[in-house]
Structure 1
Amino acid sequence: MGIPHFLAIPFQVLGHINPLTQLSNVLAKHYGCKVTFLNSEFNHKRAKIDESSSKMIKFVTLPDGLDHEDNRSDLSKVLHSIKSTMPSLLPKLIQDINALDFENKITCILVTVNMGWALEIGHQLGIKCAAFFPFSATSLASVHFIPKLMKDGIIDSDGNPIKSQEIQIFPNMPKMDPKHVLWCNLGNEFFKHLVQEMKTMELLAEWWFCNSAYDLEPGALSISPRFLSIGPLMESDNNNNNNKSSSFWQEDTTCLEWLDQQQPQSVVYVSFGSLAVMESNQFKELALALDLIDKPFLWVVRPGSNDDKNNAFPNEFHGNKGKIVSWVSQKKILQHAAISCFISHCGWNSTIEGVYSGVSFLCWPFFIDQFWNKSYICDVWKVGMELAKDENGFISKEEIRKKVEQLLGDEGIRERSSKLKEVTRKNLGEGGQSSKNLEKFVNWAK
């Protein structure tokens, strides 16, 4: 019997590619499995992946059907193009992979949500299937319960909220605003896709994994025996930078040397992930706020992160207390002793990286699951505060300055952040819930 051979297929956005890369690293490095990782040709080129860093992971590509200049931050467009292009090409790719190593053919296809079509192909070819949800178990629960939300009259058949009062999907979970459901702002087509996707997953994926830890979301993770935590997946930046995460932008490494020169717990870290776009005036206000705060700051301003294509800073912005970079290795930054707090969009990867690192959060959610993640940070775990918007949805520089001062002066938040870090990490240790779930999975694959 050969070793398990996984074909890992992420939806082609960084928030799916990175956690699946990390899971692949764990399967290869800790369990001796073989992994073939599928990227789009476009993303593989721009990710500059160092393939020599792991003997057990092989990278393959297929076209995503988009032109070079197409906007790949439009999720619906990416999704539609992938579904029109890749399914006809995948069977031949699987055949070619298997022909190269007849002893160790692909034994399991592992996809992230939105790539359910690959499970259908796997099923037709007699290959086992598993699904990985790179967001919280709470978000997974909301999608899992779409039929129930419709039946209870909370959303209509297009996924739009009908009722305005807060909902509780399951006991022991926080109450949520229905207008912040996972599919909000993504359109009716995306919602219909999601409904179909969950039917495919329920039918064909024998395992459902979340990049979470049981102690972070016990209510959501106890909904179904299918919901299994295997996180936090923080594998990739250890081990002398081998197996590092994919990145679509050049990472600035000078900021680590700069952080080494700062006082412990003094630096305000600001980053809004790989998709969020900030309105130009709000971007300028944030810059002025960072001048107002009497603290050093590290601000990630990725290309295209605000709607002024030039990333225009206001004329009166000095920025002399901080460092502005276009992209970083976030795990390394968050685990640096100089970081005091994290001004974040609350994407799930950023949330789990911050929790793992024991930092406190200042929450600035934009869309999708970020509002629910903010609820956990502020209301359930109590390791952060939310920035308040005025009646026009604008966050003032005074509000940012005031909240940073409040956050850094709150001993309770700091203590809870530190405690949550310890509790979360235990899930990965020997006998921890995440480790047990992964072990069961690998044994099944064998």
Structure 2
Amino acid sequence: MGSIEVQETHVLMVALPFQGHLNPMLKFVKNLARTNLHFTLATTEQARDLLSSTDEQQSLMDLVFFSDGLPKDDPRDPEPLIESLRKVGAKNFSKIIEEKRFDCIISIPFTPWVPAVAAAHNIPCAILWIEACAVFSVYYRYYMKTNSFPDLEDPNQRVELPALPLLEVRDLPTLMLPSHGANFNTLMAEFVECLKDVKWVLANSFYELESDIIESMFDFKPIIPIGPLVSPFLLGADEDKALDGKNLDMWKADDYYMEWLDQQVRSSVVYISFGSILKSSENQVETIATALKNRGVPFLWVIRPKEKAENVDVLQKMVKEGQGVVIEWGQQEKILSHMAISCFVTHCGWNSTIETVVTGVPILAYPTWFDQPLNARLLVDMFGIGVRMSNDVVDGELKVAEVESCIEAVTNGPAAVNMRRRAAELKQAARSAMAPGGSSARNLDVFINDIKIFT
């Protein structure tokens, strides 16, 4: 009797060429790298050289590219890129679908024209939500008008929403605020509108982390947590047998910092990074550096680009004296999982938030924009694993005393023991969620079965 050939399911992933968008997609593919699933990643031509030169990505998926409509020498800042894609994205992306059969399309939230293209070609569509479920809930409730919101012009107005602590307008995602500009506000309105063509909203989170928020959305647009989407070694997998912890890095990582970390005392190093987009001012760098000097603690600091901020005298002196190391980029998962790290000074981007939860590291939250203010509230007030650094109410600048006080609170203060205990609990919960039979693992299995029904 001849063998029965099982039909392969083709999944098309769509992402913008930003590190915070591409990496969750890569981690998602790693977690779905199973028999009879074939992946293709579609992004703009801007990322062709980066992706095509990375062997790991080529082994995991096929790569296809479409034009974003901008001139080749355009710097491609987020706002003009999104505006150009609003005009030409659907047309140019459609050409990819017309050339090959796909059984499912999975897109990030910031390409709201993708679900309509999928619907026009009768292809079921999923959104991979790469921010907190809490942020999804806020956007949905605001743009669908399911809940009342105060005047968003006043940052001090209070906001009461289900399953969330009492917020102020300043805590809301900045893309929905008038101060952030009409283009981004329109983008998020378009995203919520496109959900009518979306069958699944998959979230880079896990039920045990945001259970009340996830349950609060059941009667609206359900969220399916399938994370944390991190490298397998962070979840306890054998690093030699699993796909390794390499991220899709837009910049070459310095390679000497791990040896320096190996020489440091356990739980002694303050790790500082504000992500791939934010640029620290010299005043902020000087303030944080002075606090580190006064506290006498070792540090590993990612400053990108290094040209200006690294020239702060107090920071240069400490580096020369061996108190700390400054790098332009590093493998954050490897850093956070190192035994020498005591706490993480972070901008609270969701990728960094998930990574710090999975590694069990307490945080000093210093958010700026996008979803970061709400993520900071989650980390401090709901997850209970850190404190928030605040700028001075008079001049709006970060003060040395504030940084010192926050470092003390996280490392040695009365609440530090509870923060470390809670961080350890969430670390274990994250591993359990992705383990066989865990909440996220079950959701992934259901999703796979669903898309195979449409094959």
TM-score normalized by the length of structure 1: 0.89
Checking the alignment, whether the CA contact within 8 Å between 2:126 and 2:201 is kept in structure 1 is: yes
Question: Equivalents in 2 of 1:310, 1:45: separation in Å?
Answer: 28
Output the CA distance in 2 between the equivalents of 1:142 and 1:70: 33
Q: Does 1:112 align with 2:98?
A: no
Q: Deviations over 1:62-99 (max 9, x none)?
A: 23233455344x42222112223332222222233x2x
1:398 and 2:398 matched: no
Matched, 1:232 2:228: yes
> Is residue 180 of structure 1 aligned with residue 171 of structure 2?
yes
Which whole-Å CA distance do the structure 2 matches of 1:367 and 1:174 have between them? 19
1:433 and 2:452 correspond = no
Native 8 Å contact 2:19 2:249 kept in 1: yes
Name which of structure 1's ranges 362-371 and 113-122 shifts more when overlaid on structure 2. Answer: 113-122
CA contact (8 A) 1:343 1:361 kept: yes
- Counterpart residue type for residue 231 of structure 2: E
* Structure 2 Cα separation of the partners of residues 295 and 31 of structure 1: 49
Name the counterpart of 2:382: 380
1:333 to 1:43, Cα distance in 2 relative to 1, 3 A: same
Contact 1:265 1:340 in 2 (8 A): yes
Aligned amino acid, residue 378 of structure 1: V
Structure 2 stretches lacking a partner, 5+ long? 1-5
2:89 to 63, 86, 89: 86
The change in CA–CA distance for 1:68 and 1:294 in structure 2 (over 3 A counts) is farther
Q: Do the aligned partners of residues 11 and 223 (structure 1) sit closer, same or farther apart at CA in structure 2, a change above 3 Å counting?
A: farther
Counterpart contact for 1:236–1:245, Cα < 8 Å? no
Q: Aligned pair count?
A: 427
- Look up the match of 2:54: 50
Q: Which runs of 4+ in 1 moved over 4 A?
A: 148-151, 236-243
Contact 1:346/1:370 (8 A) holds in 2: yes
Counterparts of residues 141-156 of structure 1 (less than 5 Å): 141-147=137-143, 149=145, 152-155=148-151
Residue-by-residue CA offset, 1:123-175 (whole Å, 9 max, x unaligned): 111211111110000000011111455862525xxxx34684322221x3222
Shift of 1:310: 2.9
- Residue of structure 1 in register with 2:3 after alignment: none
Say which is worse superposed, 212-221 or 186-195, in terms of deviation.
Answer: 186-195
Summarize the Cα distance change of 1:114–1:249 in structure 2 as closer, same or farther, 3 Å threshold. Answer: same
Equivalent residue in structure 2 for 1:8, among 13, 28, 37: 13
Q: TM-score, normalised by structure 2?
A: 0.88
Q: Which moved more, 1:365-374 or 1:48-57?
A: 48-57
Contact 1:213–1:230 (CA<8 Å) still a contact in 2? Answer: yes
| 2: CA distance, partners of 1:368 / 1:148 | 20
Q: CA deviation at 1:48?
A: 6.5
What SS class does the counterpart of residue 106 from structure 2 fall into? strand
For residues 3 and 356 of structure 1, the distance between their equivalents in structure 2, rounded to whole angstroms, comes to 33
Matches within 5 A, 1:289-438: 289-303=291-305, 310-317=308-315, 318=317, 319=319, 320-390=322-392, 391-409=394-412, 410-438=416-444
SS at 2:334's partner residue?
helix
Q: CA deviation at 1:263?
A: 1.4
Find the partner of 2:159 among 161, 167, 174. Answer: 167
3-state SS of the aligned residue for 1:215?
helix
Say whether the 8 Å CA contact 1:346–1:373 is kept in structure 2. Answer: yes
- 1:214 paired with 2:212, answer no
1:313 maps to amino acid? N
Does the CA contact (< 8 Å) of 2:44 and 2:65 recur in 1? yes
- 8 Å CA contact 1:230–1:438 kept in 2: the answer is yes
Q: 1:174 to 1:32 in 2, by over 3 A?
A: farther
The secondary structure found in structure 2 opposite 1:292 is helix
Tell me the alpha carbon deviations over residues 350-393 of structure 1, each in whole angstroms, 9 at most, x when there is no partner. 01100100000011011111111111111112110111321212
CA deviation after TM superposition for structure 1 residue 345, in Å: 0.5
Tell me: CA distance 1:265–1:161, structure 2 relative to 1, closer, same or farther (3 Å).
same
Which of residues 192, 199, 205 is equivalent to 2:198? 205
What secondary structure, in the 3-state scheme, does the structure 1 residue paired with 2:126 have?
A: strand
Whole-Å separation in 2 of the counterparts to 1:212 and 1:151? 24
> Partners of 2:231 and 2:314 in 1: how far apart?
41
Matched position secondary structure for 1:247: coil
- For the 8 Å contact 1:154–1:163, the answer to whether it is kept is no
8 Å CA contact 1:359–1:414 kept in 2: the answer is: yes
Q: Per-residue deviation at 1:193?
A: 2.4
Paired AA for residue 129 in structure 1? C
Shift in alpha-carbon separation, 1:66–1:3, aligned structure 2, 3 A: same
**Corresponding residue number in structure 2 for 1:101:** none
Give 5+ residue unaligned stretches, structure 1.
Answer: 99-104
Question: How large is the Cα RMSD of the aligned pairs?
Answer: 2.3
